[in-house]
Amino acid sequence: MVLHFDAARVKGLLFDLDGTLVDSLPDLHYAVCGVLSDWGLPAMSMEEVGRYVGKGVIHLAEMVLKARKPEADEATRDRFVKGYVDALAASGSKRTRAIPGVAEALSLFSGAGLPLAVVTNKAGVLVDAVLQDTGLSGYFSRELCFSADDVEHPKPAPDMLFLAARRMGIDPADCLMFGDSRNDAEAASRAGMPVMLLETGYNEGDPIADWGRKNNFRDIFPSMDLAARALLSERNQLIP
């Protein structure tokens, strides 16, 4: 597959977390339903929770409360956020798994000498544990793991991507973003960097392949190992 950007120019790689590196939806669903149960509210299906994932915990809380407690005010939302984050921290990442093909891709990227960074809207207190529990922490230095806590505006704003590029000492235009949602695609576009989209995660209920084609994002892959091979093949760095 011919990529729609200059692969030879890429000097650093940025990765979303949920839906891109790991399938965390079972844990997110568990935490949401735990808070709803504590509040005496009906549970949600995993599919519904998945539609609210990607724009950060505040957006998730707002959407859940809109569906289950529409009269909720900002203070109630903040209580939900605290309960949700506490539930995730207490239960750990035991239901979260690295997405198939991710470890192979990260190994290929590391072997090619490309620096790797995480840029996630997930609460920062949870990021280290997720990477550790899924066996991916060895691919990322703590200094190159960024969350919504590190910037004023989370994705789809480009702030986090600019911060990661600056920390790596690389021009944003020479970085490549990997993500599974429109938030990742839009953040990359606003940062002036190319993006490879993966059909492995959550995009507010709209398949990323369909959304990408409609919005002129054309580098879309079923899995990260296939994306890695396409990228490194164009860079003439992949050993058959």
Is residue 225 among the annotated active site residues? no
Cβ(182)–Cβ(211) below 8 Å? yes
Name 12's bridge partners.
Answer: 175
For residue 201, with 0-12 CB atoms within 10 Å meaning exposed, 13-18 middle and 19 or more buried, which class applies? buried
**Given 16, 18, 23, 159, the catalytic residue:** 16
What the block records as the tokens of 114 is 């490309």
Residue holding tokens 């505006």? 153
Give start-end residues of each CATH 1.10.150.240 domain in the chain.
25-91
Rounded CA-CA distance 50/27 in Å is 11
For residue 192, the 8-state DSSP code is T
Could you tell me which of 109, 65, 108 has the C-alpha nearest to residue 84? 65
CATH of domain 25-91: 1.10.150.240
For residue 173, the 8-state DSSP code is G
Mean pLDDT of 210-229: 96
Does 238 score more than 70 pLDDT? Answer: no
Residue holding tokens 């490309």? 114
Mean pLDDT of 126-149: 95
Percent of residues, the chain, with pLDDT higher than 90: 82
pLDDT of residue 240: 45
Does 94 score more than 60 pLDDT? Answer: yes
| pTM of the full structure | 0.87
> Cα angle at 23 between 233 and 31, to 5 degrees?
160
Give start-end residues of each CATH 3.40.50.1000 domain in the chain.
7-24+96-234
At the fourth CATH level, which superfamily is domain 7-24+96-234? HAD superfamily/HAD-like (3.40.50.1000)
Residue holding tokens 């590391």? 110
Percent of residues, the chain, with pLDDT higher than 70: 98
pLDDT tens digit sequence for 35-92: 999 999 999 999 999 889 877 789 899 999 999 999 999 999 999 999 999 998 888 7
Rounded CA-CA distance 146/164 in Å is 7
Cβ(142)–Cβ(132) below 8 Å? no
pLDDT of residue 227: 97
